[in-house]
Structure formats: C-alpha cells, structure tokens
C-alpha cells in the first residue's frame, strides 16, 4: 500500500437497519475517500451481541451495495478481532495505562466523571472492568467540519476499555481496528464527537498518529432526537438510491449532482465534493426525518 495514501471507512453497528443519518455518514465517508483517490473500507462493529439484531449486518451491506457503496477490502467483523484487542490491552497494561475496576454502576451513580476509586486498589473480584487512565492535561485538534476542539482529560475521566461482562468496549475496539486497517481519515456523525478525545488518548498510548476527523451534522427527528432505531427512524432500505443520494448531498451542503444513473451521479458527486461546505448543523430537513 502506498505510504501516505488516504484510507477511510464506514463502521456501522448491526443494531438495526440503516436510516438517513447512517446513509449520510456512509456516503460522505465514501465521497471523501474517492475525492482523495483513496480507499473506502467497511467495518461491521458487531461487538455487543445483546444489542444486535439478527440479519442486520447482511441487510446493512445489501443497502450499501444498492447505494453503490462497496468496501474496497473484505469487510472486517469486530466479533472476530478479540485477539487483537487482547494484545492491545496487554500493551496498555504493561505500560501501566489501565487498571482493574470493580465499581458497580450503582456505586458510580451521580458521578459524571469516574472518581478514581479503584486506581490504587490491587484486590479485584473476578468480575471487573478495565479502565484507561485518562491523566491530566488538554487535548486539542482541528475537526474538518466541527472546527477546533479542546477537551480536558480530567473532565473526561478514566473510561472503560474492557467491560465487566467480558465484552470489549467500543473505544478500544475502534482504535485497534482503525490502526489495523491503516485508517487515515474518519468521517462520521457528530454524535461521536465526544468519543474522539477518548480515542485520541488511546492512539497516543499505543504510539500511533491518530487519523484526521470530520464529524458530520446529525440528522434529527422533529423533536430534536438523533435518528436511530430507538427513535424509530425510517429504514432507507427501500429508498430509490438516486433520490437518497440527492437528499444526502443536499443535507451535506453539496451542489446538486448531475446524472441519471447512479454511477454518473456518483462521479459528479465525487468531482464536486467539498468538505468545507458541510455545515456543522444542517438546516435541511426531509421526509426521512419525520
């Protein structure tokens, strides 16, 4: 692989069908990759079996394909990546960047930030979580859509990288896999902006340069909730792909694409793609958000 080349990704969780917001993230990440002559990879974030919906992974991949979006490499499934997460956790442990934590959810209720209870403790119940030591100091970077970002490590606090039920936490898995796939650019919804400082801390602890980030406006329903399975957002599975592309491009502040076929419309959208035009909050509304 050419050094310095662009590698982007779309990383859905198979907890339901694709809705307009996830279609926008898929299209924007694909366009940004293509506009940089880069690769676009799909990663299925199937880390949390209790939250997964049978058949959702297959349905998501089929919906992407209908939209003309096909991963440039075989789809990575996080459910098959445990060994890589174990190895990363060993690195963090040998560098004393993590500690075991047996605090119950109840004992932490009322705390916005983890109070540090288990930082010094050595005796653990068999069931315990593993937390990353956030430490002190500021984290600052520039997001291509959301602008300058600044976070205080202490205000984020020590966060979980391995859950007490044995499941891997999203924060660790996403970073280990972004590193494994050589991801250089992350384009995703602004609902994940709060996760970015945690992920940047993990990149730093694993001595890897973090990717560049662009956090897209999030599509909301009329009462201001992010579209999701929980808010019963409409599935885009049966949408006309050309209509859907047009609506997504309008939502993302792009010039209307030309072309009657999906392929010609995609070519036009790549040619005109301009991340600087993506608004941090989109004023565009459409029927998918009702």
Q: What are the residues binding ligand GLU (CB under 6 A)?
A: 11-13, 45, 174, 188, 192
- CB distance 185 to 7 below 8 Å: yes
Least separation, in Å, of the C-beta of 204 and ligand GLU? 17
Least separation, in Å, of the C-beta of 170 and ligand GLU? 7
User: Between β-strands 98-101 and 129-132, what pairing exists: parallel, antiparallel or unpaired?
Assistant: antiparallel
Least separation, in Å, of the C-beta of 159 and ligand GLU? 15
Least separation, in Å, of the C-beta of 96 and ligand GLU? 27
- CB distance 164 to 131 below 8 Å: no
The residue behind tokens 């366009």 is 31
User: Between β-strands 147-152 and 138-143, what pairing exists: parallel, antiparallel or unpaired?
Assistant: antiparallel
Least separation, in Å, of the C-beta of 65 and ligand GLU? 18
Q: From its phi and psi, is residue 211 left (phi > 0), alpha (psi between -120 and 50) or beta?
A: beta
Residue 41: strand pairing partners: 9
Least separation, in Å, of the C-beta of 116 and ligand GLU? 27
Extract the tokens encoding 249.
Answer: 């491009």
Least separation, in Å, of the C-beta of 179 and ligand GLU? 13
**Of 47 and 103, which CB lies nearer to ligand GLU in the complex structure?**
47
């Amino acid at each position: 692989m050419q050094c310095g080349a662009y590698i982007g990704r779309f990383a859905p969780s198979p907890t339901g069908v694709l809705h307009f917001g996830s279609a926008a993230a898929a299209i924007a990440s694909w366009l940004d990759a293509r506009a940089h002559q880069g690769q676009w990879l799909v990663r299925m974030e199937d880390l949390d079996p209790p939250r997964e919906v049978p058949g959702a992974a297959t349905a998501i991949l089929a919906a992407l394909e209908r939209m003309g979006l096909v991963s440039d490499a075989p789809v990575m499934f996080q459910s098959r990546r445990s060994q890589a997460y174990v190895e990363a956790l060993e690195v963090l442990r040998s560098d004393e960047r993590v500690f075991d934590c047996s605090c119950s959810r109840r004992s932490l209720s009322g705390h916005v930030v983890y109070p540090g209870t288990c930082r010094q403790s050595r005796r653990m119940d068999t069931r315990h979580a593993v937390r990353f030591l956030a430490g002190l100091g500021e984290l600052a970077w520039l997001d291509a859509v959301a602008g300058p970002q600044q976070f205080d490590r202490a205000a984020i606090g020590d966060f979980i990288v391995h859950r007490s039920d044995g499941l891997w936490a999203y924060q660790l898995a996403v970073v280990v896999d972004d590193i494994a796939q050589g991801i250089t650019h992350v384009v995703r919804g602004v609902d994940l902006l709060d996760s970015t400082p945690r992920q940047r801390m993990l990149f730093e602890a694993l001595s890897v340069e973090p990717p560049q980030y662009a956090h897209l406006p999030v599509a909301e329903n009329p009462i201001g909730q992010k579209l999701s399975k929980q808010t019963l957002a409409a599935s885009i599975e049966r949408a006309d792909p050309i209509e859907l592309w047009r609506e997504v491009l309008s939502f993302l502040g792009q010039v209307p694409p030309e072309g009657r076929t999906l392929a010609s419309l995609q070519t036009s959208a790549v040619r005109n793609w301009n991340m600087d035009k993506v608004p941090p909050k989109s004023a565009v509304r459409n029927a998918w958000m009702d």
